[in-house]
Structure 1
């Protein structure tokens, strides 16, 4: 497994150059601009399956602010010198330099890489509007019942537990922060389980403090555990 993400390194993409994960001092601006990356073909319907995703975003949605958001995102992750051109509906893109360019042919690759580097999960889109509505309600209910925790809470936890000053954490990537935060949780759980076992608890399972943590797992994957449950939901709603 590559160590590039844990060391905060970027990845070179042919025809584009170095794509870098953002650092936390740019997190707020990234959050403001990155919602455009959540648009996937699933949002546009089956009839657009053969279309390029960037065509659908730039020309289909036809919102100038989305193009501006993409420019700002590429400036954050690739180069300060990004410029957009549009000679025609078929001849447009984001110029990086004399030889490198983001266009409809490589946008999907760049989008996926930026999302992976910064731990963004693909949004689940259901074809049935009623199923989508119920999925949204289930997600809202899950969030209400879950532990209230903000990004700032993760920062303060890592700062206090690891003895990091906030000026140090500004240089962290999202992946590095999440990795440290999850590892701290593993260490605390390990110490607590040891204490329970020493007190006579024979039921608690002792997991290794350095066991793998999958940072790419979508926490909402278990919203609907199986296709059978989705089918049952459809039947309950008369579909």
Structure 2
């Protein structure tokens, strides 16, 4: 297993250059600009499946703000010098330097890597509008019932527990922060279980404090009690 993410190293893409995970110092800017990455082929329907995703975003949605956000996003993750050009509907892209360019042919690879490095999950899109509305309501209900926790709460937890100053945490990547935060949770859970067992508890399982934590698991995968029920609902609606 590669250690590039835990050490915050970037990954090179041929024709693009080194793509780097953002640091928390740039988190606010990244959060504002990166929402465009959530657009996937699933948002455009089967009739557009033969098209390039970047074509659909730039020309299909035709929103200048999206192009601006992509430009600024690439500046944060690849190079400080990124310029968008459009000579025609077929000749356009984001120039990085004389050797590197992001266009419709490599955008999907760049998008996938940026999302992976910064723990962004693909949005679930359902073909049927009623199913999509039901899924959105289920997600809202889950968020209301769940633990209210912000990104800032994770930062303060790691700062206090690990004794790290916020200026140091500012150099962390999202992956590093999530890794530390989840590991702290495992350590606290382990210590608590040991205390319970010393008090006579024989039922609580003792999980190792260093067991694997899957940071790429989509927290919304368990949104529905049974995926079979959702599948059945889709089938009943003719999807």
The bucket for the TM-score relative to the shorter chain is over 0.9
Equivalent residues in 2 for 1:74-223 (5 A)?
74-223=74-223
Over aligned residue pairs, what C-alpha RMSD do you find? 1.4
Q: Secondary structure at 1:167's aligned position in 2?
A: helix
Deviation of 1:224 (Å): 2.5
Q: Secondary structure at 1:171's aligned position in 2?
A: coil
Deviation of 1:228 (Å): 1.9
Q: Can you list the C-alpha shifts for 1:73-116, whole angstroms capped at 9, x where unaligned?
A: 00000001100110111110000100110000000000000000
- Using the size of structure 1 for normalisation, the TM-score is 0.97
CA distance in 2, matches of 1:145, 1:205: 26
CA distance in 1, matches of 2:238, 2:21: 45
Q: Secondary structure at 1:186's aligned position in 2?
A: helix
Structure 1 stretches lacking a partner, 5+ long: none
- Using the size of structure 2 for normalisation, the TM-score is 0.97
Q: Secondary structure at 2:209's aligned position in 1?
A: coil
Equivalent position of 1:229 in the other structure: 229
Q: Secondary structure at 2:93's aligned position in 1?
A: strand
Q: Single out whichever of 113-122 and 221-230 deviates more from structure 2.
A: 221-230
CA distance in 2, matches of 1:104, 1:231: 33
Q: Secondary structure at 1:205's aligned position in 2?
A: coil
Structure 2 stretches lacking a partner, 5+ long: none
Q: Secondary structure at 1:85's aligned position in 2?
A: strand
CA distance in 2, matches of 1:129, 1:4: 40
Q: Secondary structure at 1:182's aligned position in 2?
A: helix
CA distance in 2, matches of 1:125, 1:16: 29
Q: Secondary structure at 2:18's aligned position in 1?
A: strand
Deviation of 1:234 (Å): 4.7
Q: 1:196 to 1:235 in 2, by over 3 A?
A: same
Q: Can you list the C-alpha shifts for 1:18-55, whole angstroms capped at 9, x where unaligned?
A: 00000001100100001000000000001001100000
Deviation >4 Å, runs of 4+: 234-239
Q: Secondary structure at 2:130's aligned position in 1?
A: helix
CA distance in 2, matches of 1:209, 1:225: 28
Q: Secondary structure at 2:36's aligned position in 1?
A: helix
CA distance in 2, matches of 1:70, 1:23: 18
Deviation of 1:227 (Å): 4.0
CA distance in 2, matches of 1:238, 1:21: 41
Q: 1:127 to 1:237 in 2, by over 3 A?
A: closer
Aligned residues: 239
Deviation of 1:223 (Å): 1.1
Deviation of 1:225 (Å): 4.9
Q: Secondary structure at 2:85's aligned position in 1?
A: strand
